[in-house]
Amino acid sequence: MNNGEVFIKKFNELENVLRKRAGRDRHRLFSELVDLVAKSDITVRRRKELLKSIGQLRNAIVHDREYPIRILADPRMEVIEELESVCSAIAQPATVIPKFQRSIHVFAAQDTLGDCLRYMKTNDFSQVVAMIDGKYVLVSSEGIVKWLENARDIGLADLERATVRDAWECETKNICRYLPRNAPLDAAYDEFEQAVHHGIPRLQAILITHTGKPEEHPLGIITPWDLLGNTR
């Protein structure tokens, strides 16, 4: 097959996937189909403009009034490769588990801040997970610094007597989000981007649990650094 034929074949595969996702509203123009599916599918939503561009390109190179259809031009190989990548990402989106699955050490609320800091230094971590009031939360180096500043002001900066809870109570709100294990990788990118968009100073990490609830034991963790260099 020439490039044009390969492009149309992959485009038809992509269109079929979108029409299946659309359900009863499947009989729409391609651009309308993209808008519809994007409302409930983060993987499509993050590629919406690219998908529409692909649809426009398809219309530009195909003469639909003839049967069989006549291909008017051959797209470049890099265009086909991009289409294949998009089709794969939408048909079989990568999920946060097993990508970011890992064993996570969980601190108790009453554990000493000294033990917590030693663990962070040994592992070069800027945050740890703690179980506080029945929920898995983050305790960050920034929260610990705030606690130190407050404690020093009143002469109580004793790391071996202070607890993980003490530092957690100094944390900025919304430093942690939760995703279910089957969430697409794009959902993690979106969480960090939305945090910036909504003016959250710094989203430290995303905890992955079975259904995305903070009461469930974390199966993995994602930091902004983890996403650097990952293909979408």
Only one residue has tokens 């890099």, namely 78
Question: pLDDT-derived band of residue 42, with 50, 70 and 90 as boundaries?
Answer: very high
pLDDT greater than 90 at residue 23: no
Question: Is the C-alpha dihedral spanning 197, 201, 204, 208 positive or negative?
Answer: negative
What pTM does this model have?
0.85
DSSP state of 210: S
- Integer-rounded Cα Rg, in Å, for the chain is 24
Judge whether 74 and 60 are in contact, CB under 8 Å. no
Residue 117's pLDDT band, with cuts at 50, 70 and 90, is: very high
Mean pLDDT in the chain? 89
If phi over 0 gives left and psi between -120 and 50 gives alpha, with beta otherwise, what is residue 80? Answer: alpha
How confident is the model at residue 96, as a pLDDT?
Answer: 98
**Structure token digits, residue 30:** 């391609």
- Give mean pLDDT, residues 185-200: 89
Q: Which domains does the chain have, with CATH numbers?
A: 3-93 (no CATH), 98-227 (3.10.580.10)
What is the rounded distance in angstroms from the CA atom of residue 71 to the CA atom of residue 62? 5
**What are the backbone dihedrals phi and psi of residue 84, each rounded to the nearest 5 degrees, phi first?**
-60, -40
Taking each helix axis from N to C end, the angle separating 141-153 and 113-123, rounded to the nearest 10 degrees, works out to 140
Quick: pLDDT tens for 153-174. Answer: 655 567 788 999 999 999 988 8
